[in-house]
Amino acid sequence: MRCVDVLPVVRDTVVLPAEFTKITGSDFDIDKLFLSTMFYHKDKDGKMTTEYEEGTKEYYANDLLKNYIALLCDAGKNGENRTAHL
């Protein structure tokens, strides 16, 4: 997914490409979509990493996201990826 813009007035609102509606099957009313990303920082070598010291909020947040991703991507009994039904 490619973010087109972030609205400066409301920092948690992003503008997505026009094609997003068609790709996701969304309609044209106001839809909300939950997005989450890993915490990143530069390590001592200047490279971007998601590794944090255990005990920090960033460590636990990244660990939680990694577990959610593993659950959704882990192959089920029939070999297909699992999906979340809410």
Q: In angstroms, rounded to a whole number, what is the distance separating the alpha carbons of residues 69 and 40?
A: 17
Q: What is the pLDDT of residue 57?
A: 94
pLDDT per position in the chain (86 positions), as tens? 566 666 667 666 667 777 777 777 777 666 667 778 899 999 889 999 999 999 999 999 999 988 888 777 765 566 665 555 44
How far apart CA 38 and CA 67 sit, in angstroms, is 12
Domain coordinates in residue numbering, the chain? 1-32, 36-86
d(C-alpha 43, C-alpha 37), whole Å: 18
The pLDDT score that the predictor gives to residue 71 is 77
